[in-house]
Amino acid sequence: MNRFLIAALAASLFALTGCGSDAPATATEVAAEENHEGAEIVSLTPEQMQRAGIEVLDAGPAPLREHLSLYGVIAPNAERMLDVSARFPGILRSVRKRVGDAVRKGDTLATVESNESLQTYAVVAPIDGVVTRRDANEGAQTGDGPLFTVSDLSTVWVELSVFPRDLAKVRTGQAVRVRSTDTGLSAEGRVVYVAPFGSANNQTLTARVALPNPDRKWPPGLYVNADVVLSQSSVPLAIRNEALQTFEGESVVFVRGGKGFEPRPVKLGRTDGEFSEVLEGLAAGDAYATRNSFILKAELGKNEAAHED
């Protein structure tokens, strides 16, 4: 990316994240200077780092994983979905819940007047969850079919498509990193089922991953990417890939020192898409910028442009 464009993006981010504060972060507040050895550094206050979303980690050991990349879709946990029907035939006198409503076990979903006794009774939720289907309207006659479906979405399934050539690599119990390219979310689950037969339509088999979803951030129907962990090995020194930037033709990591962040050239080894092994340039315990480290690069780019002028 052109350094002037990066600089403009960084300035815009600082301006936006500073809105509404007593001391908004502007481009002039972030000092890019040279230390006593001639290496440029970028100085930010803790408040500026927080507003810009820059995170710092310590370099150290990390696991590198060999993985198989697959595609899939989020689905409800069918073992935690229950249909709710009327106990006795009758007329729906009231319907209290709609699709999308959260319910607790025992909550009244509707009331029915029995055809035989003419007494009214409640149709209640059998579990905690969300109403995901409703076939009930006031004044209608109940039938044999379900009036509601209540789904517990605190866990969901990820239905992955596995081609026959990869089937031998996937087995129950394997860890899986699930990622959404739309939302940027990621989470870990495990393979709980591999289908014994395939689909004639797309010539794939299904591997099912159980994924915790306590905050309901993984809505059913969402398409996702997934990395099935095939093997894992530890390296003594690694960094997160999001920390890597290219500066003056070199791969660098912004290391925090006493005066600020300095771009440190690094020599890398193996990588798994999340972590990269560091062979030279860093030591264990070095604090480095990870998320949004491009803002530090942008500040150095502006400083370099100013020197050229």
Task: Please state the domain extents for the chain.
Answer: 3-63+234-308, 66-77+154-232, 79-151
pLDDT at position 47, please? 83
Q: Which pLDDT band holds residue 127 (cuts at 50, 70, 90)? A: very high
Indicate if the pLDDT at residue 5 is higher than 60. no
pTM of the model: 0.63
Within its chain, how far is the Cα of 175 from the centroid? 16
Within its chain, how far is the Cα of 85 from the centroid? 36
- The per-residue pLDDT for range 199-237, each reduced to its tens digit, is 878 889 999 999 999 999 999 999 999 999 998 888 999
Mean pLDDT of the chain: 84
- What integer is the mean pLDDT of 84-102? 96
The residues that bridge with 211 in the sheet, in sequence order, are: 156
Q: Edge to edge, what strands does the sheet with 108-114 contain? A: 90-95, 108-114, 120-124
- Other beta carbons less than 10 A from residue 96's beta carbon: 14
- CATH 2.40.420.20 describes domain 3-63+234-308: yes
pLDDT at position 292, please? 86
What's the CA angle centered on 211, arms 132 and 152, to 5 degrees?
A: 25
Whose tokens are 């319910």? That residue is 103
CA end-to-end span of the chain: 20
Read off the tokens for 274. Answer: 């999340």
DSSP 142: P
- The per-residue pLDDT for range 274-309, each reduced to its tens digit, is 899 999 999 999 999 998 888 888 877 665 555 555
Q: Top-level CATH class of 79-151?
A: mainly beta
pLDDT at position 144, please? 87
Fold held by 66-77+154-232: Elongation Factor Tu (Ef-tu); domain 3 (2.40.30)
The answer to whether 304 and 2 have CB atoms below 8 angstroms apart is: no
Indicate if the pLDDT at residue 1 is higher than 70. no
% of the chain surpassing 90 pLDDT: 59
Indicate if the pLDDT at residue 4 is higher than 70. no
pLDDT at position 309, please? 53
- What integer is the mean pLDDT of 71-79? 95
The answer to whether 211 and 33 have CB atoms below 8 angstroms apart is: no
